[in-house]
Amino acid sequence: MLDRRRLRMYPLAERRHKLAIEEIAVRPGDPSPDPAPENRERVARAAERIRAARAAGRPVVLTYGAHLVKNGLAPVVIDLVERGWVTHLATNGAGSIHDWEFAHLGRSTEDVRENTAAGCFGTWEETGRWLNLAVAVGAADGLGYGASVARLIAEDGLQAPEPQALRERAAALLAEPGRAEEAAAAADLLHLLEAFALPAGRWEVPHPWKRFSIQEAAHRTGTPFTVHPGIGYDIIYTHPLNAGGPIGRGAVRDFLCYAEAISRLEGGVHLAVGSSVMAPMIFEKCLSMANNLALQEGRPVLSAHYMAVVDLQEGGDWDWTKGEPPMDHPAYYLRFCKSFHRMGGTLDYLCMDNRAFLLRLHAALEGGKT
C-alpha cells in the first residue's frame, strides 16, 4: 500500500484559490435569469408541494452536490433552513469540504489539472487534518460525519481527550455487551492520537466566515445534516490522518439518519440539486427500506411524495411524465432522471442553473413570483 506519510502536505493558504465566498455569495432576493416557461411552472409546483408538506409536518429533504456550494448559494439555503422550509440536508464529501474551506479561509477550489501535474492536488494540510480529525472525534462521541464537521465549524475547534482516558473508556465499553462498536470508535481516535503524537486538549480552528456555512446553520438550528462520501473521492483521503474506521462509521450513521427522513416522506418533498449520482443512489435504497418496513407493518408503500431533480444536463429529449424511455434511447442512461422516476410519487425534472432554481424557489415560498 502507498504510505501517505511520505507525501508532502502544503499549507492551504499557499493554494491559488479560484473562488472567494464574499465575492460569489448569492443572497435571497438577488436577480435570477429567466427560466423556460415550463421550468417556471415546475418551480411554482415545487414551492406549492413544499408549503403543503410543511403545513402537514412532513419532511422536505434537500440533497445537493458541491457545485451548489461553489456557486455561492449557501446564504439562500441557510435562509430556507432558518425559515423551516428545509428539514434535512444531505450532500457528498466535496459539498462538505468546500463549505468548510469557505468557512475557515473564505476561499476554495483549485486548478485540478495544474495541481495534479504538480503533485499537489488535494494535498492541503488544514483541510485533510481538520476534517479527518473532526470525523474521528465526532465518531467517538457518537456523531455522524456531517454533524462532526458542523460541530467543528460551530465551535471553532475540537476537544481531544487524553489518550489514557480513551484507553480506559474503550476497555470499559468492551466489557459491556453490545458496546463493542463504541469501543472501536474510541480505539480509532486513540490510534490517531498516539500514531501522530497529537496533544490532548483544545485544538483551536477559527472559522471567520462561518456565516456562509450551511453546515454551521444546520448545527445551530438542529437540522439534520448528512454527508454521503465515496472512499477515495475527496481530497481528505490524501492526508495521513485519514482513517477508514471513523469515515465509515460516520457515513453509515448519516446514511441511516437520511433513511429515517425518507421513511417519513409520504406527503413530503425530496429535492435533488446538482447531484446526479449520490442523490439517486442513496434515495432508491432508502425508499426500498422504507417500503420494506411499511409492508411488514401492514401500511401502504410510499406513493404521495414529490421529487424535483435539478441539473444542467439535458434530459435526453425525453418527457419523463410519459414514463421511462426504452433501453435503446439515450435518456434511459440518465441515472439522475431514471432512478427517481422509478421511485413512485411525482417527479419534475428542471434543466436549469441551480442559482436560478433556488432563488426562484425561495421567492415563491416567501410569496414572490417564480
Whether 237 maps to a domain, the answer reads yes
CATH code, 82? 3.40.50.10690
Q: Which domain holds residue 28?
A: 4-161+200-365
Lowest-confidence segment of 6-20, 81-95, 252-266, 303-317 by average pLDDT = 303-317
- pLDDT mean across residues, the chain: 95
Residue 368 has pLDDT above 90, yes or no: no
Span 181-199, mean pLDDT? 97
pLDDT, position 157 = 98
Residue 192 lies in a domain: no
Query: How large is the average pLDDT for residues 287-311?
Result: 97
Number of domains observed in the structure of the chain? 1
Residue 322 pLDDT class (50, 70, 90 cuts): confident
Q: Are 350 and 357 in contact (CB under 8 A)?
A: yes
Length of the chain: 370
pLDDT over 60 at 124, yes or no: yes
Mean predicted confidence (pLDDT) in 129-135: 98
Residues 57-73, mean pLDDT to the nearest whole number: 98
In a domain, 135, yes or no: yes
* 181 falls within a domain: no
Indicate the pTM of the whole model. Answer: 0.96
Domain contains 219: yes
Residue 276: inside a domain, yes or no?
yes
Is the per-residue pLDDT at 222 higher than 70?
yes
Please state, as a whole number, how many other Cβ atoms lie within 10 Å of the Cβ of residue 118: 11
Q: Beta partners for 306?
A: 269, 346
DSSP 367: T
Residue 251 belongs to some domain of the structure: yes
Please report, for residues 61, 85, 94, 202, 347, the alpha-carbon distance to residue 146 in angstroms, rounded to integers and kept in the order given. 15, 20, 12, 21, 27
Q: Is 241 domain-assigned?
A: yes
Which region, left, alpha or beta, applies to residue 325 given φ > 0 means left and ψ of -120 to 50 means alpha?
beta
- Does the structure show a pLDDT above 60 at 370? no
Q: Is residue 90 within 8 Å of residue 59, measured between CB atoms?
A: no
